[in-house]
Amino acid sequence: MTSEIHALSNKHNARRSTGPKTSAGKQKAKMNSLKHGLAMAIIKGSPADMEIKKLAGAIVGNNPVNLEALIYAREAAEAEFLIQRARSTRTSFLKAYDIKRDGVDQTQEPPKGSQYWPKDIEEVINDIIFLDRYERRARSRRKKAFRKLKEMM
Amino acid sequence: MQTEHKLKNPNGRVSEDQLTAKLIPPEIEPHLGEPPLICGETREDYEALFTQLVLKVEPKDIIEWIWVKDVLDLIWEAKRLRNLKAALLRSETYKSSERILGDVIEGLIEDADYYSSKKIARQLAIGWTEKNTQKTQDLKGLLAKAGHDINTVTSDALTKKLYDIERIERMIASCDKRRDDVLREIERSRENLAKRIKEQAQQLIEDIEVEPTPSPRTETS
C-alpha cells in the first residue's frame, strides 16, 4: 500500500510533469474541447440539452417510471446524442476531404484513374481515429443505460 | 407503431412503395439523426438499405429503432471505408505506374529527357487506368523490357500506402465489431423479454385456482 507521503509526492510530481507549461500552450489546450465539440459539457438549457431531454422523454414514453428510470433515460439520451455528434463530425471530415483538392480549384477533377486526392488522406484518417475514443466511451454508456432500462420496462 | 409497407416483390427487390412508405413512427423519427451522406452517396441507396434492415429486424420500441439506425450507419460507414481504401490504392497505383514507367522510358530510349519520358509515361498510365487495350499492351511491353510487370507497379503502390491502408482496415474492423455488438444487444434484450414473459406466464398458471369438483354423494342427497 502506498504511504501517504509517497502519494503526496506522486501528486506533486504529476503536477510538474504533465500538461502544458507555457501560457501559449495552456491557451491552446483550453481550446481543445471546442475544436470539435465532443468533449464539451452539455450546458443546461442549451439546444443540445433540450434535444437530449426530448429524447429521454421519448425513451421513457408511456411506461410507468421512477426516478431511477429517468436517470438512465437521460444517460442513454446523452450518450446517443454524443454518438450522433461523433458520426456527423466524421462525415464532415470526409466531406471536407472530398471538396479540398490540395488547394486546387474545386471544379477541377482529380487525375484520371483516381477518385480522391490522396495527399490529405493521412489528415482525414488521423481525425477520424481521434474521434474514435469519444464514440467508444459514449457507446459504453449507452449500452449500460439501455440494458438497465430494458430490465425496468 | 404505425408501419405501412407492402411485401417485397417476388424477385426480392425492394419496391418503390416501400422506399417511400413511412416506416418510422413519426414520434421516433426526429430522434434518429440525419443520414450521414457525403458526395457520391445517395439518399435513395441509404433509405433502401434502411428499409431492408427495418423489415428484417422489425423494431418494437424507440430503443430498438435507435439500435437499428446504428447498425445501418455502421454498415454504411464500413462500406464507405472500403471504397476509400480501393480509391486510395487506385490513385497510388496510377502514381506508381507513372513513376516506374518514367524511369523505364528514360533508361530505354536514347536521348530521352526527363520531361518527355514523364509525358509518355503519363499517357500510358492514363491509358491503362482507362482500360485502353493498346496503351495497356504498350505499358506491359515497356515494363517487361526492364524486367518488371504489373505486379511491380501494384506492390510499389501498396508499399507506399501500407500504413494508411492498415489504419483504414482497422477502422473497418471497428465498424464491423460495433455492428455485431449492437445486433447482440437486440438479440439479448429480446431473449430476456421472452424469458420474463415465459416466467410470468408460468407464475400465472401456477396462481390459477382450480375449482373443486363437487363430490357425487353431495349431488344425490
Distance from CA of A39 to the nearest CA of B (A): 20
Please compute Rg for chain B using Cα positions: 31
Q: Classify B75 as helix, strand or coil.
A: helix
CB-CB under 8 Å, A115 with B36: no
Phi/psi at A104 (5° precision): -85, 160
Q: Give the residue from A72, A81, A70, A68 showing the smallest Cα distance to A40.
A: A81
Q: Classify A104 as helix, strand or coil.
A: strand
In percent, the amount of chain B with pLDDT more than 70 equals 83
CB-CB under 8 Å, B171 with A128: yes
Provide DSSP, A12-26.
Answer: HHHHHHSS--SHHHH
What is the Cα–Cα distance from B190 to A150, expressed in whole angstroms? 9
What is the Cα–Cα distance from B26 to B29, expressed in whole angstroms? 5
Cβ contacts (< 8 Å) between B191 and chain A: which residues? none
Residue with cell 504489373: B150
Binned at pLDDT 50, 70 and 90, residue B204 comes out as confident
* Cα B59–Cα B75–Cα A102 angle in degrees, nearest 5: 140
C-alpha cell, A32? 481543445
Give this prediction's pTM: 0.73
Provide the 10 A C-beta neighbour count for residue B73.
24
What is the Cα–Cα distance from B61 to B187, expressed in whole angstroms? 14
Q: Give the residue from B30, B34, B29, B42 showing the smallest Cα distance to B3.
A: B29
Distance from CA of B109 to the nearest CA of A (A): 26
Provide the number of CB pairs (under 8 Å) joining chain A to chain B: 99
Q: How large is the ipTM?
A: 0.72
The predicted pLDDT at position B8 comes to: 44
Tell me which residue in A84, A95, A113 faces B126 most closely, judged by beta carbons.
A113
Q: Classify A101 as helix, strand or coil.
A: strand
Taking the Cβ of residue B26 and every Cβ of chain A, the question of whether any pair is shorter than 8 Å is answered with: no
Phi/psi at B23 (5° precision): -85, -35
Phi/psi at B193 (5° precision): -65, -45
Taking the Cβ of residue B38 and every Cβ of chain A, the question of whether any pair is shorter than 8 Å is answered with: yes
- For the segment A45-91, what is each residue's pLDDT rounded down to a tens digit? 888 889 999 999 999 887 666 888 899 999 999 999 999 999 988 88
Distance from CA of A36 to the nearest CA of B (A): 17
Range with the poorest average pLDDT among A16-25, A50-59, A136-145, B40-49: A16-25
Cβ contacts (< 8 Å) between B73 and chain A: which residues? 87
Question: What CA–CA distances, in Å, run from B128 to A17, B93, B101, B104, B145?
Answer: 56, 11, 12, 16, 17
Q: Chain B residue with minimal CA distance to A87? A: B36
- For the segment B32-63, what is each residue's pLDDT rounded down to a tens digit? 988 998 888 899 999 999 999 999 999 999 99
What is the Cα–Cα distance from A80 to A139, expressed in whole angstroms? 8
CB-CB under 8 Å, A151 with B192: yes
